[in-house]
Amino acid sequence: MRDNPILRVTAKILFAPIIVFGLYVQFHGDYSPGGGFQAGVIIAAAFILHALIFGLEAGRRLVPGWVNLAMLAGGVIVYGGVGVAGMMLDGLFLDYNVLSYDASKGQHYGIILVEFGVGLTVTGVMLALFHAFAGFAEAHYKPSSGSKGGTSGEDGS
């Protein structure tokens, strides 16, 4: 697919709008359908599209392993941090009411932060899974020379 100019141009045009749509789903998830999980998958789809069109190595250069690991850890830290912040402000774990002077604003702040943490983690997980599975070499799945059957076509069938 790297040599197909139509796919390359289309992927370049769609990359940013896919991410913007993911951010829209992320930040409007408390008022409409959507939220962190859906946004994380949509944003990861943009990076997966890039890797499918331009190659796995180009995808790994765009989101290196350390960035992916930071997204995974950062999302969990944000999610847990909101819960701990509620406890430190004399509330319960993930009690959003205490995050602001007004309970409704605290609810709003809390859900946005939690959904952001979920979105960050889901994006990282989806990218990690894609890179793990896409990185497998075909040689790992060839049957041994003594086995019968299979679909490798080595036996002339």
For 65-111, the pLDDT digits (tens) are: 999 999 999 999 999 999 999 999 998 998 888 988 998 898 889 98
Say whether pLDDT at 157 is over 90. Answer: no
Q: Measured between alpha carbons, how far is 104 from 115 in angstroms, rounded to an integer? A: 17
Q: Is-above-0.85 flag for pTM?
A: no
Helices (H), 55-102: 56-62, 65-88
Find the mean pLDDT for residues 139-148. Answer: 58
Confidence class for position 148, pLDDT limits 50, 70, 90: low
Beta strands in the chain, from DSSP E residues, in sequence order: none
